[in-house]
Amino acid sequence: MPETALPGRRAQAARNDVVILDAARQVFLVDPKAPIAHVAERAGVGISALYRRYPSKEVLLCRLCHDGLRRFITEAEAAAEEPDGWAALTGFLRRIVDADVHSLTVHLAGLFTPTPEMGEDARRANELARGLVARAHESGRLRRDAVPEDIGMILECCAAIRVEDPERTTQLRRRYLALLIEGLAADGGPDLPGPPPRPGEMNGRWRPS
Amino acid sequence: MPETALPGRRAQAARNDVVILDAARQVFLVDPKAPIAHVAERAGVGISALYRRYPSKEVLLCRLCHDGLRRFITEAEAAAEEPDGWAALTGFLRRIVDADVHSLTVHLAGLFTPTPEMGEDARRANELARGLVARAHESGRLRRDAVPEDIGMILECCAAIRVEDPERTTQLRRRYLALLIEGLAADGGPDLPGPPPRPGEMNGRWRPS
DNA sequence: TCAGAGCGGAACGATCCGTTCCAGTGCTAA
DNA sequence: TTAGCACTGGAACGGATCGTTCCGCTCTGA
């Protein structure tokens, strides 16, 4: 029962499923508080098509956010397979930055009440990130004073880069990620200033206002 | 005619001048689209006190933005005095990051129509930044493929770091700025990926929507 | 042929926010 | 002492925005 082979109206519906999700990602990535009408417009559908699928904006936001989180986990698990701990960490960062996943999970947080399942996935993501940093440390190529919480911050930095053209955005983000990774490499430079980020220090975003 | 010595009502007015500007900075730094009432609340004054000083929100925003730009120029001029080109650039970045000036000039752009005077100052700021990068290159400590436009991007990265506590925010920003600066140092590593940012590539923000 | 799934978009109601307005307060100067 | 006024707090207003509902239409599948 391949979805793409469905005829007529159902085919349109199936196509709309993905078109709407794509549009929502693009729109809310640029402006997390964008009105839902923008999503419909971008998708080239009416508002009804949205409300047929999601009972409210909050649910759509939650779905988007959770998808991003799952992508994060998937990439982290893939990176865990890479034998070289340093390559695992840097490759992981590159893929997450390319996928623009950080904005989805983080900048949308606080706009909806998270499901318990998301909380669990968030914990799992944390655990995986911790493992990646630990293995990078073992490889000896990661500077000694780097901590797992640095990952989220570095992703935050990269997510801040954004220009009109999405492809150009990716290029530029790679540039500054490369800069950060260069800094992350243990080259015997001075220790980083100030106390490192603590676990949970960035969690202020998660409770709904 | 020292302002602080003014008695009674005028003293209150003089105090309010600075209290309001401070509050506006704090509020709009966190959320550039915050309602003006939040500023009044934070300043501990009524809305009238705001409208007595600024004819509209747009003017206040413009003032804030222009102040930030002027601060940028001041710091850049100070850095130009520093004989060591590398120390000049890195010190400049640190001071701008500490002053949280980038958000003021950039994230507020597009929310008002810029004055011609601001355009001129923006050009001057660009020129100064270009000079700082040139001198850093001459010092031999800046990686060859760094360009003046990288400055704005790096500031953007740091500005993305923000937590509840302002002091903690500063600490964390210094941490990631240090990482970026480490990457900026010419250590014979591989060239940065992708085409570097071009002059004016980030100017899409400046026209009012 | 027709029931109904799916759709577009107008309409509605709630909320938000910039701005205006007015009554109160306490200096200041005559 | 007191009239005038600079300054203020905050309620009120009007316009804009946005999430959601609703209605009439189209086209499918049996």
Residue A181 to residue B183, Cβ atoms within 8 A: yes
* Residue B46, Ramachandran bin (φ over 0: left; ψ between -120 and 50: alpha; else beta): beta
**Contact call for residues A152 and B171 (beta carbons, < 8 A):** no
Average pLDDT, chain B: 92
Residue A180 to residue B184, Cβ atoms within 8 A: no
For residue B114, which of B205, B35, B7, B51 has the smallest C-alpha distance? B205
What integer is the mean pLDDT of A7-31? Answer: 88
Residue A13, pLDDT score: 80
Residue A187 to residue B182, Cβ atoms within 8 A: yes
CA distance A84 to B154: 29
Distance B5 CA to C27 C1' (A): 15
Which residues in chain A touch residue B161, judged by CB atoms under 8 angstroms apart?
A: 153, 156-157
For residue B119, which of B55, B207, B32, B60 has the smallest C-alpha distance? B207
What is the amino acid identity at position A110? G
Residue A160 to residue B160, Cβ atoms within 8 A: yes
What integer is the mean pLDDT of A81-88? Answer: 98
For residue B6, pLDDT beyond 70: no
Find residues whose C-beta atom lies within 7 angstroms of strand D: A 6-10, 33-37, 47-48, 51, 55-58; B 9-10, 12-13, 16, 40, 44-49, 51-52
What integer is the mean pLDDT of A187-208? Answer: 85
| % of chain A surpassing 70 pLDDT | 94
CA distance B77 to A67: 47
CA distance A93 to A179: 12
B158–chain A Cβ distance below 8 A for any pair: yes
What integer is the mean pLDDT of A25-42? Answer: 96
Q: Which two tokens stand for residue B75?
A: 């710091």
* Closest residue (Cα, C1') to C22: B48
Count contacts between A and B (CB, < 8 Å): 94
B57 touches strand C (CB under 7 A): yes
B175–chain A Cβ distance below 8 A for any pair: yes
Residue A207, pLDDT score: 63
**Contact call for residues A159 and A103 (beta carbons, < 8 A):** yes
Residue A171 to residue B180, Cβ atoms within 8 A: no
CA distance A194 to B165: 14
Residue B11, pLDDT score: 67
Angle in degrees, 0-180, between the axes of helices B36-43 and B57-81, rounded to the nearest 10: 70
DSSP class of residue B82 equals -
In B157-174, which positions are buried (b, 16+ CB within 10 angstroms) versus exposed (e)?
A: bbbbbbbeeeebbbbbbb
Q: Lowest-confidence range among B18-22, B34-38, B74-78, B189-193? A: B189-193
Residue A199, pLDDT score: 92
How far are the Cα atoms of A18, A41, A162, B111 from residue A48, in angstroms, in the given order? 15, 12, 31, 32
Residue A204, pLDDT score: 77
Confidence (pTM): 0.93
Which positions of chain D lie under 7 Å from any protein Cβ? 6-12, 17-23, 27-29
Which residues in chain A touch residue B158, judged by CB atoms under 8 angstroms apart?
A: 157
- B91-124 pLDDT, tens per residue? 999 999 999 999 889 999 889 999 999 999 999 9
> B153 CA to chain A: closest CA distance, Å?
7
Residue B31, pLDDT score: 93
- B125-158 pLDDT, tens per residue? 999 999 999 999 999 999 999 999 999 999 999 9
| % of chain A surpassing 90 pLDDT | 82
Distance B109 CA to C18 C1' (A): 19
Q: Which two tokens stand for residue A24?
A: 């929502």
The band of A117, judged by pLDDT with boundaries at 50, 70 and 90, is very high
- The SS3 of residue B142 is strand
Residue B9, pLDDT score: 58
For residue A44, pLDDT beyond 70: yes
Which residues in chain B touch residue A171, judged by CB atoms under 8 angstroms apart?
A: 193-195
A18 compared with B201, residue with greater pLDDT = A18
* B17 nearest nucleotide via C1' and CA: D7
CA distance B104 to B28: 8
- Give the distance, in angstroms, between the CA of residue A146 and the centroid of all CA atoms in the same chain: 21
Residue B193 to residue A178, Cβ atoms within 8 A: yes
For residue A37, pLDDT beyond 80: yes
Handedness of CA B159, A170, A147, A131 (dihedral sign): positive
B206 touches strand C (CB under 7 A): no
Residue B153 to residue A159, Cβ atoms within 8 A: no
The band of B7, judged by pLDDT with boundaries at 50, 70 and 90, is low
What is the amino acid identity at position A154? I
Phi, psi of B105 (to 5 degrees): -80, -35
Q: Degrees (nearest 5) of the Cα angle B100, B104, B109?
A: 150
CA distance A133 to A76: 11
**CB atoms < 10 A from the CB of A165, how many?**
12
Residue A160 to residue B164, Cβ atoms within 8 A: no
What is the amino acid identity at position A206? W
Residue B187, pLDDT score: 80
Q: Which two tokens stand for residue B2?
A: 């020292």
Which residues in chain A touch residue B194, judged by CB atoms under 8 angstroms apart?
A: 171-172, 174-175
- B57-86 pLDDT, tens per residue? 999 999 999 999 999 999 999 999 999 999
Interface of A with B in 179-208 (CB under 8 A): 179-185, 187, 189, 192-197, 201-202, 204
Give the per-residue SS3 of chain A. CCHHHCCHHHHHHHHHHHHHHHHHHHHHHHCCCCCHHHHHHHHCCCHHHHHHHCCCHHHHHHHHHHHHHHHHHHHHHHHHHCCCHHHHHHHHHHHHHHHCHHHHHHCCCCCCCCCHHHHHHHHHHHHHHHHHHHHHHHHCCECCCCCCHHHHHHHHHHHCCCCCCHHHHHHHHHHHHHHHHHHHECCCCCCCCCCCCCCCCCHHHCCCC
